[in-house]
Structure 1
């Protein structure tokens, strides 16, 4: 059992991510989080009095975990040397988002994105962040002489995100060939 309030809040937010991924937005309740975390009834409510507070904590934690993972992956991989390395990196990224913990976080992220339509404060938290991976793609495109590398990076990564969403809904993986076509388009 986490001893500190910060550790307890992280546990509750992580558990809320899992509950949202498994049960959907309607299943995300204080009681469901208590049960899934193995905590006494009322624990989640003691830390997050309202559903909005719980949802905000979930989104903040989701972004924190995603950014840490993306930053680490971007630093580890470094800048791609050629288009095939970029394709391989993006293909590996989609695989992470479609399996295991990455899948649960993706399901929760898309649920929160839809919820943010009605709660703009969540949208502000979910705005894509600058990170090592994004900079790596932008630097790669800029090194190829593309003056609008930033805009192309946003478009490319949005398309990759769309493929992840499609596969979450319809099943399957994202083949490297699909990513290759997106990269080739970004390089034109």
Structure 2
């Protein structure tokens, strides 16, 4: 558990946002979620916008750390089936437990970023080892547009996660669905 008070508050804010939505994200709700005295959150983040920025920065840091670790422990897939299995496992992590909480918060922040450019700049896609694994696999298949196909494939997987998260398809992603996306990217 993080000991830095700002990190504790940002983590609590992610939980509040995931559970109560953007309207439920208040300084008091974060204080309660962090089990801290009333006024603590506003002492560290004076405005709601400052709280949102801290939340988004923490969310991106957690996501990047997860993607980095995943990419480092995952060899470049040798087959489309291996890539599909890896992407399906990733999608499943994003739909369950801690991953689900962060995914709900991420989508709420993405919508909010339409009106707040500073949030959009923090949320912008970043390079990471996991993305590179997908790109390297596609390049090894002889695709000359591996960078573009990587973006397309990962955007499709993200769309599938979003669809399952909001209720379409029962909340899980099958390896077969992911395999179809990978196959389409290879063609």
Task: Determine whether 1:96 maps to 2:85.
Answer: no
1:54 equivalent among 44, 51, 54: 51
Aligned pairs, how many?
Answer: 185
Deviations 1:136-165 (A, max 9, x none): 000110111111000000000000000100
Q: Which residue of 2 aligns with 1:75?
A: 72
Q: TM-score, normalised by structure 1?
A: 0.96
Runs (5+) with no aligned partner, structure 1: none
Structure 2 distance, partners of 1:128, 1:157, is: 11
Runs (5+) with no aligned partner, structure 2: none
Please tell me the root mean square deviation across aligned C-alpha atoms, in Å. Answer: 1.1
For residues 3-22 of structure 1, the aligned pairs below 5 Å read 7-22=4-19
Deviations 1:38-93 (A, max 9, x none): 10110000000000000000000000000000110111112111111100100000
For residues 106-185 of structure 1, the aligned pairs below 5 Å read 106-170=103-167, 171-185=170-184
Structure 1 distance, partners of 2:6, 2:75, is: 33
Structure 2 distance, partners of 1:124, 1:151, is: 21
Q: TM-score, normalised by structure 2?
A: 0.97
Q: 1:94 to 1:45 in 2, by over 3 A?
A: same
